[in-house]
Structure 1
Amino acid sequence: MKFKKWLVCSVLFSSLWMTTAFSAQAADSSIQNESIYDLYVDRYFNSTVANDYNVNTKDHLAFAGGDFKGIMDKMDHIRDLGFSILSIGPVFSTESYDGKAILDFNEIEKHFGTADELEALIEKTHNQKMKLMIEFPLNNYSAQHTWASEEDKQDWIISKDGVLQLDLENPEVQTELIDTIVAFATKYKIDGVKLSEIEGAPTEFINEMITALKEVRNPMYVIALEESDANFDVNYSEQRMVALRDAFKNTDYPSDVISSVESNDLLLIDNLVSERFTYHSALENMFPPTRIRAAIGTLLTLPGVPYMTYGTEIAMNGQVPEESHQIMNFRVDEELIEYIQDVNSIRNKSDALRSGDIEVLKNENGYAVYKRESEEETFIIVVNNTSATQRIDLSSEVVGEDKEVRGIFESDLIRTTDDGSYRIVIDREIVEVFQVTDRKGLNTAYIIAMGISYLLFILFLVIVWKKGKQRRRDDENKAK
């Protein structure tokens, strides 16, 4: 069965290459062509003990040992999943494993590695045809931050109680923050910045920072996982994230959010500061890998920019950060990982799935059917996130005249019925991607080749049989 699936997928992937002649890495610098994999350096993989200062894997709030070299060691995992942007959190000198209790912007956190190792990570990411993004918090640093003790910066500070809180409306603070991140982006060849802790930051200030960053190099994506009116490259909505999460944490739930997604939307079901999607699906007494498969399969086939938190591919659980920021476990069942790889592979090769038009044909309580289309290709996506088998009959006006529809993962070839429609039947809890192509007649060349192969095989058996018969005769003659 696995061989059959592999064979079908291989043929279809080859077809995608031929019909689109496109590679995501060769695309123009539009964030719609990207997909983001987000992690914290400390929680990914520990490659060297040389930087394991006061590491304690038993303490959920302590450093666990993950480092830049660890990400490099596991780069193939991220590349094979198909994500094009690697987001690694803050990398500055910090008191906390998540990098946010920043001590000094002029130093790289020694637990993570050296400046040279960060540069090596960026270079390897680029060599793998991916991009690297770091997180830059605008506020709430360590109370021991270098700015806290500098006399000329005391009027920048609102509070030192627990954390260093800055006055983000102060023009000097704004200038310093812009200069800091621009200098970093100029020195290290990063491709994007995720701004965080932006509450209280005027929109004009954020826009000025975005403009300054984009002048460093192209592309330079700037995003945030906080709602804002600033000119970020994608639109983040807490409500949309919750709606997507709630649509897939169980079956038969309202899925109206699918119809409202637009090309500039950030698509995610959880993030590094929220509860894990697995936590919510487990509360519903559902099997998390199946729920994740349905959710990610949908996100990767909708317009917008897919964004996945590390560990989703192994159904990592957790309600609060201390629980959900687990050390990544790479010794897991491969089925969910392979599914994400397959769908992302199709998306990366398909202009229609990344930036093509969408037409929603049906969407009701977990059962959604939509068409993604570009000038070169057409796909029909069927999301059956329900508890029952579903059927839909699509007219030739939707699919096209004299076409055939082939399911890439679960279904066989579909051609028109007697009434001219295309009947698609999908089992429960499955997202299927159908490729629409011109109808092909009998493949004469293939049939001839198979016939010749069959005749040659028969001829081979006859020759072997005759040689065996002759050998027995010779043996009998010798015995006489």
Structure 2
Amino acid sequence: MTKYLFNLILLILTVTVACTDNKKREVENHWPHAGITYEIFIQSFYDSNGDGIGDINGVIKKLDHVKELGANAIWFMPIKESPSYHKYDVTDYKKIHPDYGTLEDFKNLLDEAHKNDIKIVIDMIINHTSNQHPWFLESKKGRDNPYRDYYVWAQKDTIADFINKKAITLDSDNIRQWHDPGLGEDYYYGFFYGGMPDLNFDNPKVREEIYEIGRFWLEDVGVDGFRLDAAKHIFPDDRPEDNHAFWKEFRDRMEKIKPDIYLVGEVYDKKEIVAPYLPGLPALFNFDFHYTLIESYQKGDGMLLAKKQKEVLDFYQGITDEFIDATFSSNHDQPRLLNSLEENPRKLKQAINILMTMPGAPYLYYGEEIGMLGKKPDENIREPFLWDLKNNDKGRTTWIEPVYSIDETVTPLAIQKSMSTSYFNHYKQIIKLRNTNRALALGELELYQGELPKPIMAFFRNHEDQELFVVHNLSDLEHRIDAPEEYGTTIYAYGNAVLEGNSIILPAYSSLILKY
């Protein structure tokens, strides 16, 4: 029996979902504060012209998928001109990469997305450029070049102790940050690698260039916001206050152009380092959530994530009450979620239950909703989306030969749509549940204080007149707990979880939500 057929049978046999609350609730859009954003790598998404590479017109063709899923916004990984497949090394900040289409194509995409009430956020890579960017090509010509100070340069003898740095960081395995352009005298700084020289933000001209780029995309093109890559590296780690000040200045300049701009930052670190960026970057990715979610399954510790999330939210609240907690279960830099969860379908479905029942503004990574697979290197975490069986899939991209997400291991979307127990239909259902219950989207998080078996996660979500009790069993054994008093109506049950009298019965990897 192929792994493909095995997965189909496992999906059907192991999952039972029920929604028993009959009260009709309207679907609401809570973006940006608690809405759902769908991350797309255009290269792998949908190929509309047959060249093997995903493109902007392909995204337009598949906007109905994003809408059907229940997402409120799209975050595009880099779309600008670049020499690499990933495009995090920009050569022209005001041009769309020709593989993806034209600026007019992108404006058409914006129009169509906005007609469908879908906001558009683009990756803004300003910490560094490509080493093929015209600014850098000028900068390396000599010390007297007017673009010299657009980048960070140092004479070799002044940085001898740093040239062969051996330490790595959470967001980079690079152990060499000073790079020789070939002359042997002056070295330039590139935190991630030599092909991405860092811009010099001590230079006011550089800052003005960046603000003009922001203005262009907001005013001339019309995007709704930016995801700011490598936000903690604008200045070196020993200058965090300068980083914080820059992002406040950046936010101020962008809000003068677009008062309701959405800014989400990548600050890849623990909460104590992340939180001070909030005044400049009102939304920040919650890396603690991602790692603790996986750790909770590995340790069989249900309350580990709930306690961590409560700790993070309370800590952020101490900095500012105007913050957006951008939670995520996986992204383009992490192994696919299903791989991280031992390729267990029940764990994947429950993990999205957890994401959608916790506070925050959740991000979904394309393909996660059909159970795509992928491990490092990064290219194999960004493999082509499977729209249909290969012989019928007109839009499947072919720029890379996939290793993990193929028809034999992943059920394509067209097949999943007809399966009531598929990943896709599960994602749709739990997203709709969140979007129709304000307590799940907007409610405060209150931890359950009673005694619990170690694998059980339990918490309350309360908003105005709606009070919910949420419980998940993160183990492969059945557990029973007492239901809180007067929480007697089931609004959601997954994996045969059930309320019997005052007892909650939780089979392996099941979830239950009760209403007060």
TM over 0.5: same fold? Answer: yes
Contact 1:42 1:112 survives alignment (8 Å): yes
Contact 1:24 1:33 survives alignment (8 Å): no
Aligned counterpart, 2:335: 275
Which runs of structure 2 are paired with 1:447-462 in the superposition (5 Å)? Answer: none
Contact 1:133 1:191 survives alignment (8 Å): yes
Q: Deviations over 1:332-351 (max 9, x none)?
A: 25211111110100111221
Other structure's SS at 1:432 match? strand
Which runs of structure 2 are paired with 1:31-42 in the superposition (5 Å)? Answer: 31-42=32-43
CA shift for structure 1 position 394: 2.2
More helix per residue: 1
Q: Deviations over 1:158-214 (max 9, x none)?
A: 238433321123222122112211221111221121000331332211221122223
Instruction: Indicate how the Cα distance of structure 1 residues 408 and 130 shifts in structure 2: closer, same or farther if over 3 A, else same.
Output: farther
Aligned counterpart, 2:146: 152
The residue identity in structure 2 corresponding to 1:324 is I
Contact 1:88 1:135 survives alignment (8 Å): yes
Which structure 1 residue ranges, 5 or more long, are not aligned? 53-63, 437-480
| TM-score, with length taken from structure 2 | 0.71
Aligned counterpart, 2:306: 258
Higher relative contact order, structure no. (Cα contacts within 8 Å, ≥ 6 residues apart): 2
Other structure's SS at 1:178 match? helix
Instruction: Tell me how far apart the structure 1 counterparts of residues 386 and 255 of structure 2 sit (CA, whole Å).
Output: 36
Instruction: Tell me how far apart the structure 1 counterparts of residues 225 and 473 of structure 2 sit (CA, whole Å).
Output: 35
Other structure's SS at 1:305 match? coil
CA shift for structure 1 position 106: 2.2
Q: 1:108 aligned to 84, 93, 96, which one?
A: 96
Greater displacement, 81-90 / 267-276: 267-276
Instruction: Tell me how far apart the structure 2 counterparts of residues 38 and 88 of structure 1 sit (CA, whole Å).
Output: 6
CA shift for structure 1 position 278: 2.9
CA shift for structure 1 position 315: 3.0
Q: Deviations over 1:363-414 (max 9, x none)?
A: 6643112221222322221111112112121242x63xxx534444455884
Aligned counterpart, 1:200: 234
Q: 1:24 aligned to 19, 28, 33, which one?
A: 28
The residue identity in structure 1 corresponding to 2:304 is D
Instruction: Indicate how the Cα distance of structure 1 residues 135 and 352 shifts in structure 2: closer, same or farther if over 3 A, else same.
Output: same
Aligned counterpart, 1:341: 428
- The question of 1:299 aligning with 2:332 is answered no
Which runs of structure 2 are paired with 1:164-175 in the superposition (5 Å)? Answer: 164-175=197-208
- The question of 1:404 aligning with 2:489 is answered yes
Instruction: Indicate how the Cα distance of structure 1 residues 215 and 349 shifts in structure 2: closer, same or farther if over 3 A, else same.
Output: farther
Other structure's SS at 2:503 match? strand
Q: Deviations over 1:100-156 (max 9, x none)?
A: 121111211111111111011112211222211000011332211122244432211
Which one has the largest radius of gyration?
1
Instruction: Tell me how far apart the structure 2 counterparts of residues 406 and 270 of structure 1 sit (CA, whole Å).
Output: 27
Instruction: Tell me how far apart the structure 2 counterparts of residues 413 and 388 of structure 1 sit (CA, whole Å).
Output: 15
The residue identity in structure 1 corresponding to 2:463 is S
Aligned counterpart, 2:284: 235
Instruction: Tell me how far apart the structure 2 counterparts of residues 7 and 340 of structure 1 sit (CA, whole Å).
Output: 12
Instruction: Tell me how far apart the structure 2 counterparts of residues 170 and 145 of structure 1 sit (CA, whole Å).
Output: 18
Aligned counterpart, 1:80: 68
Instruction: Tell me how far apart the structure 1 counterparts of residues 512 and 387 of structure 2 sit (CA, whole Å).
Output: 27
| TM-score, with length taken from structure 1 | 0.76
Other structure's SS at 2:91 match? strand
Contact 1:251 1:387 survives alignment (8 Å): no
- The question of 1:215 aligning with 2:256 is answered yes
The residue identity in structure 2 corresponding to 1:302 is M
Other structure's SS at 1:352 match? helix
Instruction: Tell me how far apart the structure 2 counterparts of residues 207 and 80 of structure 1 sit (CA, whole Å).
Output: 36
Other structure's SS at 1:166 match? coil
Q: 2:23 aligned to 10, 15, 20, which one?
A: 15
Which runs of structure 2 are paired with 1:50-69 in the superposition (5 Å)? Answer: 52=51, 64-69=52-57
Instruction: Tell me how far apart the structure 2 counterparts of residues 111 and 210 of structure 1 sit (CA, whole Å).
Output: 31
Instruction: Tell me how far apart the structure 2 counterparts of residues 153 and 203 of structure 1 sit (CA, whole Å).
Output: 25
Contact 2:263 2:282 survives alignment (8 Å): yes
- The question of 1:143 aligning with 2:131 is answered yes
Q: Deviations over 1:406-457 (max 9, x none)?
A: 4444558847x4xxxx321121112233344xxxxxxxxxxxxxxxxxxxxx
Instruction: Indicate how the Cα distance of structure 1 residues 345 and 115 shifts in structure 2: closer, same or farther if over 3 A, else same.
Output: same
Aligned counterpart, 1:117: 105
Q: 1:429 aligned to 497, 500, 509, which one?
A: 509
Aligned counterpart, 2:406: none
Instruction: Indicate how the Cα distance of structure 1 residues 192 and 6 shifts in structure 2: closer, same or farther if over 3 A, else same.
Output: farther
Contact 2:302 2:456 survives alignment (8 Å): no
Instruction: Tell me how far apart the structure 2 counterparts of residues 433 and 240 of structure 1 sit (CA, whole Å).
Output: 21
Instruction: Indicate how the Cα distance of structure 1 residues 109 and 407 shifts in structure 2: closer, same or farther if over 3 A, else same.
Output: closer
Contact 1:406 1:412 survives alignment (8 Å): no
CA shift for structure 1 position 23: 4.0
CA shift for structure 1 position 37: 1.3
Q: Percent identity?
A: 18
Contact 2:267 2:284 survives alignment (8 Å): no
CA shift for structure 1 position 259: 2.2
Aligned counterpart, 1:350: 437
Instruction: Tell me how far apart the structure 2 counterparts of residues 8 and 289 of structure 1 sit (CA, whole Å).
Output: 17
CA shift for structure 1 position 6: 11
Instruction: Tell me how far apart the structure 2 counterparts of residues 6 and 269 of structure 1 sit (CA, whole Å).
Output: 22
Other structure's SS at 1:257 match? helix
Aligned counterpart, 1:163: 196
The residue identity in structure 2 corresponding to 1:15 is K
Instruction: Tell me how far apart the structure 1 counterparts of residues 304 and 455 of structure 2 sit (CA, whole Å).
Output: 9
Aligned counterpart, 2:211: 178
Contact 2:72 2:118 survives alignment (8 Å): yes
Instruction: Tell me how far apart the structure 1 counterparts of residues 463 and 443 of structure 2 sit (CA, whole Å).
Output: 5
Contact 2:327 2:355 survives alignment (8 Å): yes
Contact 1:252 1:387 survives alignment (8 Å): no
Instruction: Tell me how far apart the structure 2 counterparts of residues 162 and 233 of structure 1 sit (CA, whole Å).
Output: 30
Contact 1:251 1:386 survives alignment (8 Å): no
Q: Deviations over 1:266-294 (max 9, x none)?
A: 2223221223333333xxxx333322211
Q: Deviations over 1:40-86 (max 9, x none)?
A: 1111111114xx4xxxxxxxxxxx51111111112222222212121
- The question of 1:225 aligning with 2:260 is answered no
Aligned counterpart, 1:244: 293
Which structure 2 residue ranges, 5 or more long, are not aligned? 1-11, 139-144, 153-187, 236-242, 269-273, 314-323, 389-411, 417-421
Instruction: Indicate how the Cα distance of structure 1 residues 181 and 358 shifts in structure 2: closer, same or farther if over 3 A, else same.
Output: same
The CA RMSD measured in Å over matched residues stands at 2.7
CA shift for structure 1 position 16: 4.3
Contact 2:332 2:382 survives alignment (8 Å): yes
The residue identity in structure 1 corresponding to 2:28 is A
- Give aligned pairs, total: 398
Instruction: Tell me how far apart the structure 2 counterparts of residues 294 and 435 of structure 1 sit (CA, whole Å).
Output: 19
